[in-house]
Amino acid sequence: MKRLKRIILSGFVLLAAWYPAPADAQGDVRTTYAVVREGRVTFQAAGVAEPFRVLFLSDTHFTVEDSRGEPYRKYSERMGGAAVRPENYGVSNGRERQLLKALAQARKDSVELVVLGGDMLNFPSLASVDSLLAIMTHSGLDWVYIAGNHDWHYEGEAGTSAEQRSRWESTALAPLYQGGDPLARAEVRHGVNLVFIDNSTLEVTPAQLDFLRREIARGLPTVLFMHVPVYFPGQNIDYNCGHPQWDEAHDCYYEIERRQPWPKEGHTATTQAFCELVRECPQIIGCFAGHTHERAIDFYNGRLQYVVGANHSGDAVTIRFEPPAR
């Protein structure tokens, strides 16, 4: 029977959740345990060759500006605040401090990969991209970047969400992808398939769905990283990707964010198929997302979805992969 178990964590609450995840019909993939504690998740899964760690964080909302941002100031003032005023050029909003703190801890923990899960920036400012790129380069850590809905959005700029994302991922944001595909990437580390999908428009494209299906067909334990959480039954509309109420009638932020409202007809069939695959596929042992700024944990159908809180408030999650205990 499918079950939804939800825990919201805040402050210094400590939780240890043990929950068996599903095996496929051949028994090729089985997570013995997903162990969740404050700011840490451990997967014990068949197929993991040796222990390793990944750091996931999201929603730093970092801004620093210079004269290159002046033509866009009419689009950046609400999110950028004082940092976008000419007298403050070169002075950040200070939110990179929590990112630097998380990266320092990652080095101490011998983290193998850092996943930047979107909304690292408030808008696609060249100065902000340059600063983020410098921070990550100087960290000495391997890292992957996934865009969030604010990373490519200048409020009031013309175009649909998909058009704005395409425009900025190929220009200002391009260095953050380090030559990788902005919309869908994967890499196998020690027997675990790490899949990165950009669902920051709150939708998924047919190419992304096909990509995920191909990665699942490899038969490896798979962990999915996105910006927007996938809807599991019982969740609120902040879990935008696949939510049944995601439509124009329920979009209360489009005027504030000066963007087009969500579609009247809601999600595409492709996005719904993607979400159903994530909820049901036994190869996917866990999902990690941000976007809501609130840490929450869901277990549905034996599958973990961990939503990390905002990094600008100090949140991040370290994920450890281990072979099953013998």
pLDDT computed for residue 38 by the predictor: 83
Strands 284-289 and 222-225, by their bridges, are parallel
Q: How much is the average pLDDT of 160-184?
A: 98
115-163 pLDDT tens trace: 999 999 999 999 999 999 999 999 999 999 999 999 999 999 999 999 9
Tell me the CA distances in angstroms from 265 to 7, 73, 231, 261, one per residue in order.
31, 33, 17, 11
Which position has the higher pLDDT, 12 or 256? 256
Residue 107 confidence (pLDDT) above 80: yes
61 vs 148: CA distance, rounded Å: 10
If you average pLDDT over every residue of the chain, what do you get? Answer: 90
For the segment 87-96, what is each residue's pLDDT rounded down to a tens digit? 999 999 999 9
Does the pLDDT of residue 25 top 70, yes or no?
no
Q: 4-322 has which fold? A: Purple Acid Phosphatase; chain A, domain 2 (3.60.21)
State both tokens at 46: 């068949």
Average pLDDT over residues 300-307: 89
pTM for this predicted structure: 0.92
Is residue 15 over pLDDT 90? Answer: no
Q: Domain limits of the chain?
A: 4-322
pLDDT for position 181: 98
Q: How many other C-beta atoms lie within 10 A of the C-beta of residue 265?
A: 8
pLDDT for position 19: 43
- pLDDT attached to residue 50: 96
- Using CB atoms within 10 Å of the CB of residue 88, give its burial: 0 to 12 exposed, 13 to 18 middle, 19+ buried: middle
H or E, element range at 44: strand 40-45
- Condensed to tens digits (0 to 9), the pLDDT of residues 37-46 reads 888 999 999 8
Which pLDDT tens digit goes with each residue over 45-66? 989 999 999 999 999 999 999 9
pLDDT attached to residue 32: 54
Taking only the tens place, the pLDDT of each residue in 186-228 is: 999 999 999 999 999 999 999 999 999 999 999 999 999 999 9
Task: Tell me, rounded to whole angstroms, the distance of Cα 128 from its chain centroid.
Answer: 19
